[in-house]
Structure 1
Amino acid sequence: MACRISELVIEAADAERLAEFWSEVLGYVEIGRESDGSIEIGPPGTGFGGPQPTIVLSPNSEPRTGKVRLHIDVSATDRDQDAELERLLALGARPADVGQTGNESWHVLADPEGNVFCLLRDRLQPL
């Protein structure tokens, strides 16, 4: 027996703003809120336990220290990488420098709170 990733939890100074950002990036919808201010987003019509993991944006006002050792990679499903890069930048992503050479086939970006993620070149089929 094996495990599946069911949720990704991202601590956020502004959980509402990050939930909006990642919902737009991934085409997710809000599927729940907790009394602690956490917001869970996921694929429309499936939610927790579906084929894709949900994301929980968990409020945390403490400043982040050190480099986060995990990041998310995303791939466009309905446009090429350049068009998707434009869309992500318009949503509030910004270029991030993590020491890349400039010859990579991916773009390193940061979400509105500085969480690094990569936009890969390959296009994936939507689920």
Structure 2
Amino acid sequence: MAFDVARFNSAFAAARHQQETDQDFNLAAAQHKLRDLIADEPDGEDRAWALRLIDKLAEPRPAPREWSPLYYEAAAIQAAAYPTEGTDEQKAAAIAEARRKIWAIADRAPHDEEPHIRAMTRPLEHIENELREPSWPRD
């Protein structure tokens, strides 16, 4: 029987989620349960990969990234950039202005945050494009 990667991934993800959310998480029990999933798996690349993941469950998780105030400023602009009132052209103009502001913030951001801030403009760009030139028929 072939290694069921999807089943193992789901079980590993569930264990990781429980580890992050349950104060009573039992690491040894979770690792045992995951090892049981691969007990019949022959030695090989899939088994070695699964064992590495199981062992990794015991490693401390890295601290969440701390973003600069510029990142949060850009995120606030992005969150407010979805107008619900006005014509399509007015909405597109508001989104374009938000994108311009976010790019200006990215220009001032630390080097490692710059691409993350610029990425905030991609969904806005798609919406702006759809407002200006819809790819679906309008009724």
Regarding TM over 0.5, the answer is no
Q: Is the radius of gyration larger for structure 1 or structure 2?
A: 2
Which of the two has greater helix per residue? 2
Normalised to the residue count of structure 1, the TM-score between the two structures is: 0.26
